Structure 1
Amino acid sequence: MSIRIGDIAPNFHAETTNGPIDFHDWIGSSWVFFFSHPADFTPVCTTEMGRTSQLSDQFEARNVKPIGLSTDTVEEHKTWVLDVNDTQNTTLTFPIVADKDLKVSELYGMIHPNESTTAAVRSVFIIDPDKKVRLTLTYPMNVGRNFDEIIRVIDALQLGDAEKIATPADWRPGGKVIIPPSISNEQAKDIFPQGWDEIRPYLRVTDVNQA
């Protein structure tokens, strides 16, 4: 199954390390960082689970719930979490989906047969409170994710929703933002009273409150 930006994230019921969940009910009114792993007790996955846990305060500040997945059982996940906590100096509390039967992995297109028929690649789905998929990323099994980029894109998505803006290449919080071409100059006067710099008629940059 191919899941595209703007799609409603498919719902599922699954066992996790924090008990059974209905995914849409679990999302509630939060954003979600849903990410998959090839297997428990593997080195790259261990560092990524640990990094997600270490960033728990940053996710919480952005109203984001992390949830992991790998194609192992709840019992295996729980034993692995002890290793994650010990080796990554953290206390992992977010849920990890057990997907031994590959149902969720197949539903979300996480199984790439030319890579593996039984292990999920490193998929990322950023999902908003309306259950819409806002970003997808796929990493190969031997490359760990860039968590700075994951936090950055969540900031960009949330700022864009709040301020009706787009963000330029390599944008970081506090940087200039772009007024979308769909907003006319007349409309922009009300939305951006602080004004803007018009580099081209289609390229207007401004500052917004990014507190």
Structure 2
Amino acid sequence: MIDDTLDRPAAPVSNPGPLLIGSPAPRFSTRTTMGDRSLDDYRGRWLVFFSHPADFTPVCTSEFIAFSKLYPEFRALDCDLLALSVDSLFSHIAWVRSIKERFGVAVPFPITEDPSMAIAAAYGMIHPDAHDASTVRATFVIDPDGIIRAMVWYPMSIGRSVAEIFRLVQALQTSDKEAASTPEGWHPGDDLIEPAPLTIEGAEEPSPSADAPDWYYRVRKS
């Protein structure tokens, strides 16, 4: 008897339209290397949801090794990782086994299958003029309420910086907690930027830091 569940597509994806920062992340449910998953499973936690062009490719392998090594640090931020490509579940499993055997690294997070390309299409991971079904290197940071807080895109030939994605999650969480912005290259412990005053009276108020160069650039300790 043929088991037609082996190639079953992902459940329908809710897609309200073009995705922007601040948009609700399209909901989905499908199979992964660690069992069935849905976007709703990650409510209440941060999520880095990222696509890779294909299994068994060198740049993707380097990224997965980096994500795996930094996984405990992501988890310490209450942030999960979830990967996706349009390859089959069996291809994902074989690739994960190969990474462990050849590089000594166990991939500790699930990889989503998407043979129907429904999820990739909902998230814009496949260019409409692409010559094949490969996804670009898209990364979405989704907050505990299911809202897209950041999107980062890389071409197929360029590996993304996992350390920068980790820093991005740290910055988003700190900005939310402190009601402040983070300057270029910010890392935990660095100064934060206060919201700029919106009135003359506010601009004339003294800065909480003596290091502020002017009224529109006020910093404070994090």
TM-score w.r.t. length of structure 2: 0.85
Q: Does 1:18 align with 2:34?
A: yes
What amino acid is the match of 1:65?
D
Paired position in structure 2 for 1:63: 78
Q: Does 1:199 align with 2:205?
A: no
Paired position in structure 2 for 1:157: 172
Contact 1:111–1:119 (8 Å) recurs in 2: yes
Choose which of 48, 61, 66 in structure 1 pairs with 2:63.
48
Residue ranges of structure 1 left out of the alignment (5+ in a row):
none
Q: Does 1:84 align with 2:119?
A: no
Question: Per the alignment, do residues 109 and 182 of structure 1 end up closer, same or farther by CA in structure 2, a change over 3 Å counting?
Answer: farther
Provide the C-alpha distance between the structure 2 equivalents of 1:182 and 1:49, rounded to a whole number of angstroms.
Answer: 43
Structure 2 SS opposite 1:46: helix
Structure 2 SS opposite 1:200: coil
Deviation sequence 1:111-162 (CA, Å, 0-9, x none)? 0144443110000000000101000011000100111110111111000011
- CA drift of 1:39 comes to 0.8
What amino acid is the match of 2:21?
I
Contact 1:47–1:88 (8 Å) recurs in 2: no
- CA drift of 1:183 comes to 8.0
Provide the C-alpha distance between the structure 2 equivalents of 1:150 and 1:116, rounded to a whole number of angstroms.
Answer: 28
Percent of pairs identical after alignment?
Answer: 37
Q: How many aligned residue pairs are there?
A: 201
Contact 1:47–1:84 (8 Å) recurs in 2: no
RMSD in angstroms over aligned alpha carbons? 1.9
Paired position in structure 1 for 2:50: 35
Paired position in structure 2 for 1:7: 23
Higher-Rg member (1/2): 2
TM-score w.r.t. length of structure 1: 0.89
Structure 2 SS opposite 1:131: coil
Residue ranges of structure 2 left out of the alignment (5+ in a row):
1-16
Paired position in structure 2 for 1:98: 113
Deviation sequence 1:75-126 (CA, Å, 0-9, x none)? 1100110112233331112110101111100010000144443110000000
- CA drift of 1:55 comes to 0.9
